[in-house]
Chains A and B, each alone.
Chain A
Amino acid sequence: MRAPVYLDNHATTRVDPRVVDAMVPCFVDLFGNPGSTSHRFGHAAKRAVDESRARIAAVIGASDREIVFTSGATESNNLAIRGVAERSRAADRHLISIATEHKSVLDPLRRLARKGCSITILPVARGDDRTGRIEPERIAESIGNETRLVSVMLANNEIGTIQPIREIGRICRERGVLLHCDATQAVGKLAVRVDELDVDLMSFTAHKIYGPKGVGALYVRRAEGRVRLEPQIDGGGQEGGLRSGTLNVPGIVGFAKAIDLCEEERAHEAPRLAALRDTLYDRLVREIPGVSLNGPPLDQADRRLAGNLSCSFAGVDGEALMIAMGDLAVSSGSACTSANPEPSHVLRALGLDDDLVRASLRFGIGRFNTLEEIDFAARTIRDAVIRLRGLRDSS
């Protein structure tokens, strides 16, 4: 077993060696600029991009021309949300989202609010329900005449909640409102097909699915009503004018390989991850008092990501816990905010008090994790929690 044991696969993933192998030739032989139309190096690079685009499109049920490559999910989310808002008439600028979205959805919305758009952020907690699931009716109630876009993620990056996108899509379609879905944590892990979901825009990225960092995509519907977006990065007019900049050929080739591998292995990988996750949770609740589960129940595969676990350890500080478990890589919230540790907005949105939010860990179990590592993790967490609680009690 290699140390540290990595259980932080929602933050990012190891690039699968098969993906690296697919990318390496692109740095050497396929180095042309896909925009160079006058010579074979350019043609070869363009062909590699075209083939990758076709494979990615096929996996999500889109057509080639509906895929816009970006530098990652943050950019895709920005392009989708701001791209729609900036193309709307001033009077039609109401956007709806939910409280547990990723910062790269909430931040552009906040910025649009400062610029005069009307933004509704729906709460997800209702009474005792702490699953983080948004009821589609809540979306329906919030849609008004001026609503232009609804943005709801497919699966949550902290608590694994799978949102009822199909139902939300149906509502949006009926009401003539566009639906953007941040599917960053879902593509590659669940069967995600835009032709079955009624989404108009969908963000996803390579580095969460054993592909490289620095490349993502935005699905932009063209079939049955083309979605019009204001580009956010202007220049040479690549990607149908929606995203200028020389294409990251190796990254795109790696992205396609990564999504293909996920698709091939998904049928047996999802149950394997769920079993590892359940084992970890069972060990934690059995061996440590005061452990509570955040997010949907573990036995509902259609409601929670297979590899996801989020737990609170009453009376322990998550940051201190992380530090106490040197050989175990997990996170106390989402990675993107751990440079700036404020309590998780996702757990707060579930109605957890700040003490419990700070006492939480997020586990993301992934492709390279083994049962042996889960065993090591359970022991490490148990020892650390007991030690920290002992220190607290003796002080």
Chain B
Amino acid sequence: MRHIYLDYNATTPVAPTVREAMAPFFAEHFGNPSSGHSLGRACREAIEDARSHLARLLGAESDEILFTSGGTESDNLALCGVMMRGGPPFTGHLVISAFEHPAVAQPAKFLARLGCQVSIVPVTRHGVVDPDAVRSALRPNTRLVSVMHANNEIGTIQPIREVAEICRSRGVLVHTDASQTIGKVRTAVDEMSVDLLTVAGHKVYAPKGVGALYVRRGTALDPFLCGAGHESGLRPGTENTPYIVGLGRAAKLAMKSLDDTTDQLAELRDRLAKTLREGTRTELPIHGESSPRLPNTLSVAFPGLSGAEILARAPDLCASTGSACHSTAITMSPTLAAIGLAPETAHGTIRLSVGWYTTRDEVDRGAQLLLDAWESLSDASRL
């Protein structure tokens, strides 16, 4: 294939076995899972099977998994479900990190408008939340701390366990958006000690339009959509059986290959970084390089140039500059701002993310395309 897709953090293709698993649930086993007849029951069983696969990947119990329409909904449900419980008035305190995905940052703003107190803890220039900063942000009325498991732009993995231990001793709930970590690194809820965890299907080779929220037993949430009592009353709406089956299969695939995947992705990512660095005498900063990072993510700055212009000169390479959800915005992405990058460094930053289907050849060609684009732009700017 001519085009080289290095944007797996934006979205992933649906894995062939996931597609196969989904296929019979469109036209054959098409019932409404809530229907009492055999067609409904077949779907109900398939959904419960998918739930158990996802539970296993997270080291959770099946009844702790809620299916949603995606990561954004899961994040909204987690934040609003905890913070709006028992209100109005909404008086609780919420703590989030400075580089959360908009799916967390925006509901936090909404909650602030409703009267909740919201604190934003900074991240270090290495792209990591300092657990002590979280500790000092806690107040007597803090209900929830939400820190993403790994950042979507620079890939730094957060010390969720340390954060959670601090919170647990203070009776504060912890949510983590694990959209970027599922299938790439371990995401066991007990190891992280979290109460709520977001899963986005389309980041893990399942389709767009399905996600999940892990809700630890005993965690009280207010439902967010209202309707008939699907998903234990927490998420009404006819279940999207094929997509849920797809997410279950993706979880099974991720579980089976996790250790190998982590190594394989890291090897490709490191090869990409090495090729880029060897191809130029200019120093190319890699954001978060000294921190624990996702094995697949390389956020690299081409100083003095525009990342968007470099990508425009390499049209066969598919990568991103900001995060996909807001790449029309010309402002510095909140993540790059949060780690304190100078505007010109942020401007020249490109996010490259590899995945299950990335080959060494693609990595080599991708790096070369970038180097060529960089060189031609640098030449042009010297003229």
Interface residues of A (CB under 8 A from B): 4, 6, 8, 11-17, 19-20, 23-24, 27-28, 31-33, 35-42, 70-75, 77-78, 102-104, 107-108, 110-111, 115, 207, 212-215, 232-238, 244-251, 319, 322-323, 326, 328-332, 334-341
Contact = CB atoms under 8 A, between A and B. Distances in A.
Given A36-B320, A336-B34, A235 B69 contact: no
B227 to A, nearest CB: 3
Given A33-B10, A103-B236, A41 B5 contact: yes
B102 A244 contact: yes
Nearest to B77: A233
Which 7 A-B residue pairs are closest in the complex by CB-CB distance? A248-B209, A214-B240, A236-B325, A71-B69, A336-B228, A104-B227, A245-B72
A245 B69 contact: yes
Given A20-B27, A246-B11, A212 B103 contact: no
B319 A235 contact: no
A236 B39 contact: no
Nearest to B76: A233
Contacts of B227: 74, 77-78, 102-104, 107-108, 336
A326 B208 CA distance: 35
B30 interface: yes
A73 B238 CA distance: 9
Given A27-B14, A36-B324, A244-B102, A12 B237 contact: no
Given A20-B26, A74-B238, A104-B237, A12 B207 contact: no
Nearest to A33: B11
B297 interface: no
Given A8-B32, A38-B308, A212-B26, A107 B236 contact: yes
A107 to B, nearest CB: 4
B183 interface: no
A72 B227 CA distance: 12
A373 to B, nearest CB: 14
A71 to B, nearest CB: 3
B320 A38 contact: yes
Contacts of B13: 27-28, 31
Nearest to B19: A27
Given A11-B32, A212-B240, A245-B71, 13 more contacts: A28-B13, A33-B202, A35-B325, A36-B327, A38-B319, A39-B320, A102-B227, A103-B236, A107-B226, A235-B102, A237-B102, A246-B325, A328-B37
B239 interface: yes
A250 to B, nearest CB: 6
Interface residues of B, number: 72
Contacts of B72: 233-236, 244-246
Contact of A214 (B35, B69, B107): B69
A270 to B, nearest CB: 22
Contact of A249 (B12, B39, B208, B311): B208
20 contacts: A8-B32, A11-B34, A15-B27, A35-B327, A39-B311, A104-B226, A104-B237, A107-B228, A232-B76, A232-B225, A235-B103, A237-B325, A246-B72, A246-B325, A248-B207, A248-B209, A323-B36, A336-B236, A338-B36, A338-B40
B208 A41 contact: no
Interface in B72-88: 72-73, 75-76, 88
B236 A104 contact: yes
Contacts of A16: 27
Contacts of B110: 234
A326 B225 CA distance: 34
A190 to B, nearest CB: 21
A348 B9 CA distance: 51
Given A31-B12, A235-B101, A237-B326, A39 B30 contact: no
Contacts of A8: 31-32, 35, 37, 39
A184 to B, nearest CB: 10
Contacts of A232: 76, 224-225
Contacts of B103: 234-236, 244-245
A329 B29 CA distance: 13
Given A75-B69, A236-B326, A248-B207, A330 B242 contact: no
A338 B34 contact: yes
A326 B237 CA distance: 26
A329 B325 contact: no
> Which of B26, B102, B226, B317 counts the most A-chain CB atoms under 10 A from its CB?
B226
Nearest to B12: A31
B11 A32 contact: yes
B12 A4 contact: no
B378 interface: no
Contacts of A73: 237
Contacts of B229: 336-337, 339-340
B241 interface: yes
A334 B32 CA distance: 11
Given A111-B226, A213-B239, A248-B207, A31 B14 contact: yes
A245 B70 contact: yes
Contacts of A23: 26
Interface in B105-146: 106-107, 109-110
Contacts of B35: 8, 11-12, 329, 331, 335, 338
A27 B26 CA distance: 14
Contacts of A20: 23, 26-27
